[in-house]
Amino acid sequence: MSHESSCARLSNCSSSREPARDWTTSTSRLRPKPAYLSPTLRTRIRSARPSAADGDTKAGGWNRKRFFGHEIYGKTLGIIGLGKIGYLTAARAQAFGMKILAWAPQLSRDNVYLAQLNAELVGLDELLSRADVVSCHVPSNPQTAGMLNRQHFATMKPTACIINTSRGEIINEADLVDALKSGKIAGAALDVRANEPPSKSELESLPNVILTPHIAAFTDEAQERVTSAVCEDVARVLEGKSPQYPANRPGTRPTVLA
C-alpha cells in the first residue's frame, strides 16, 4: 500500500501494522511545497494586505494609508518542529532577512541543520515570547495534540502572528479565537484545521485571519512528484526490493525526517 500522506497518519491505521503489508509514503516529494506556502502566508499576513488593497483599488479606491503593513526583514521567525519542512521553511525565511529560532526537542545544539540556518535552539515558551512570526511544522500525535493553547498564546507578543501548515490538531482553535479577538496576538494564517472540512467557526469572520483549504501541496508539480513516488515504491516492492519511503517497516526508518 502506498499513499501520499505522512508517516504519522499512516501509523494510526490498524492495517498499517499488519506484518504482511508494506506501507509507504511519498510525503517527502511534497515537502518543498509546504515550505513555500508558509512564507507566502507570512508575507500576506505581515505586509500591506495586498488582497484587500487589490479589491479596494478595483472598486475605484486609492487608499494608500489604509493599507499600511509591516516588514518581515529583520524580524524573528519561530519554527516549531525542525524536520525537513521546518528546515526548508527556515531557509526560505533567511532569504527574507529573518532571524531564526527553533524548537526541536530531537536536535542537539551542535546539530548541522542549526549551524546551516544560523538558528538558535530554544524552549517552546521562549520561542513563543520572542518570535514575531510562529510557523508550525510538527506531526499530529498524542504529544502534539492541542500543544498550542490559551497558555501559550498569552506568552506571545501582541504583534505576533501564527502560521500553521502542518496539522490542525496541534492548535486549540477555541483558544486561538479568544486570543485573536482579545488582541493577545495580531493574526493567524491556517492551511489546516482540526476537522476537515471544518464546521462553521468564528475564525471565518475574523479580519485578522487568513484561511486556506489544506492546499500546501496542491500544485501540478507536487502532485506529479507524488504520483511518481507512489508508483515507484509499489514497483520496488513487487520486484522484491525495499521501498524507498517505508512507513511501517520494523527495524527501518524512512530515508527522510518525518
Q: Between these two residues, 49 and 100, which has the higher pLDDT value?
A: 100
Could you give the C-alpha distances from 88 to 2, 30, 59, 114, 155, in angstroms and in order? 25, 12, 38, 12, 26
- Three-state secondary-structure class, residue 8: helix
**Which amino acid, residue 71?**
E
Say which residue, 68 or 166, is predicted with more confidence.
166
Q: What is the pTM of this model?
A: 0.81
Residues tagged active-site: 167, 196, 214
For the chain, domain boundaries: 1-30+230-258, 32-54+70-211
Hey, CA dihedral for 156, 158, 164, 169, is it positive or negative? positive
Q: Are 215 and 244 in contact (CB under 8 A)?
A: no
Q: How confident is the model at residue 254 (pLDDT cuts 50, 70, 90)?
A: very low
DSSP-assigned letters across all residues of 38-106: HHHHHHHHHSS-HHHHHHHHHTT---GGGG-----TT-EEEEE--SHHHHHHHHHHHHTT-EEEEE-TT
Quick one: what percent of the chain has pLDDT higher than 90? 53
Q: What pLDDT, on a 0 to 100 scale, did the predictor assign at position 74?
A: 95
Residue 100 sits at φ, ψ, to 5 deg, of -115, 125
Instruction: Provide φ and ψ at 62, rounded to 5°.
Output: -150, 65
What are residue 120's phi and psi, to 5 degrees?
Answer: -105, 125
C-alpha cell at 99: 532571524
| Mean pLDDT estimate for the chain | 83
Looking at the predicted structure, is the pLDDT value of residue 180 above 60? Answer: yes
C-alpha cell at 67: 493599507
Q: Which residues contact 17 (CB under 8 A, 6 or more apart)?
A: 248
Domain range 32-54+70-211, CATH class: alpha beta
Candidates 72, 79, 138; CA nearest to 113 is 79
In this structure, of 9-18, 32-41, 245-254, the range with the lowest mean pLDDT score is 9-18
Q: What is the pLDDT of residues 47-88, one digit of tens each?
A: 656 778 888 999 999 999 888 888 889 999 999 999 989 999
